[in-house]
Structure 1
């Protein structure tokens, strides 16, 4: 085998090994967690927030800390709330309830997932999460 053929063969093998390593790394990456704003319910001087949180991955998440910001109908921030939505078992969907004190449910137009400050050791927790809303007239996004 000539030197140039050996070089091409070595480059091909190296490329294949790198491709395989990247495929294994991406499959080992955390599965996205979906958070659905499912219901807003008035409770005395608070608004009870019902979130449906799904962890489709094979790894449990011990902590999922959410930084939520509530906006009124005029787009003005009415409240900021940090909540713990964990732990989440692997391949499991759970309902998490939180009371947002001094927030009128009927006055909300949007809930912002401002940040995810913990998600079980992942580096970019906010990128791990997707958001949707079933509440009519209330957007839930990041």
Structure 2
């Protein structure tokens, strides 16, 4: 999972995540618990983001806004947890273990 771009958007910060599903399984749902820290290291916002569906073997782009928070005020984004994920067999509990994070921005994306 790559933090690809942060872009100012009408007073908000628009986040672009690139997700590459290399597991061989399609996911109906992948709900992420994301925590945004400011440049001082203080928690600025916490969001639940639905990143699914993710077809098997496909790269997808997910974009979402962080309301009332400027991109310049972001110091780090944490993938705190995968709140839920579901494949064809149903709910899974191990999704955080196979997610890795990276960033093409100056703002680190970590787990």
TM-score calculated relative to the size of structure 2: 0.92
Q: Tell me the number of residue pairs that the alignment of Structure 1 and Structure 2 aligns.
A: 107
SS at match of 1:63: strand
Q: Displacement of 1:57 after TM fit?
A: 2.3
Counterpart for residue 19 of structure 1? none
SS at match of 1:126: helix
Among candidates 10, 17, 22, match of residue 44 of structure 1:
10
Task: Give the number of the structure whose residues are more often strand, by fraction.
Answer: 2
Q: Displacement of 1:100 after TM fit?
A: 0.6
Deviation >4 Å, runs of 4+ = none
SS at match of 1:106: helix
Q: Which runs of 5+ in 1 are unaligned?
A: 1-34
Counterpart for residue 28 of structure 2? 62
Q: Displacement of 1:71 after TM fit?
A: 0.6
Q: Which runs of 5+ in 2 are unaligned?
A: none
Rg larger for:
1
Task: Give the number of the structure whose residues are more often helix, by fraction.
Answer: 1
CA offsets 1:43-94 (integer angstroms, 9 cap, x no match): 1121000000010122100000001111111001111110100000010000
TM-score calculated relative to the size of structure 1: 0.73
Aligned residue runs from structure 1 range 9-28, under 5 A = none
Aligned residue runs from structure 1 range 90-105, under 5 A = 90-105=56-71
> How big is the alpha-carbon RMSD for the aligned residues of Structure 1 and Structure 2?
0.9
